[in-house]
Amino acid sequence: MKLEEVAERLGLEFWVRADPEVEVRGGYVSDLLSDVLAHAEAGDLWITHQRHLNVVAVAKLRGVAGIVLARGLQPGPETLRRAQQEGVNLLTSPEDAFDTAGRLHRLLFP
């Protein structure tokens, strides 16, 4: 399912709309960058509470469909700039990580 549709159906807000047509194949929830580097897969939508600039580098390396900041957390200006420069989709969810992941799973794997 395309990221644009996932965002609409889950009520996610785009902060950086780099490639809304990217295919979302799954999800990954973690706040440990090393864990995401080791286990997230290309096409996953990464749900996290981390807002610092390094999340963009990790997302780019792993080829995730985008980063979702849970609980309505907003990216800092440096993170926002880096996501724009690197072409990484960056979104926020008003819900916590657990609920966001659960809704994503039900959407992708009914």
Cα-trace Rg, the chain = 12
Give pLDDT, residue 96: 98
Q: How many whole angstroms from its chain centre is CA 100?
A: 11
Domains of the chain, CATH where assigned: 3-108 (3.40.1390.20)
Give pLDDT, residue 52: 94
3 state SS of 65 = coil
Global pTM?
A: 0.97
Residue indicated by tokens 């807002």? 51
Per-residue pLDDT of the chain (110 residues; tens, 9 = 90+): 999 999 999 999 999 999 999 999 999 999 999 999 999 999 999 999 999 999 999 999 999 999 999 999 999 999 999 999 999 999 999 999 999 999 999 999 99
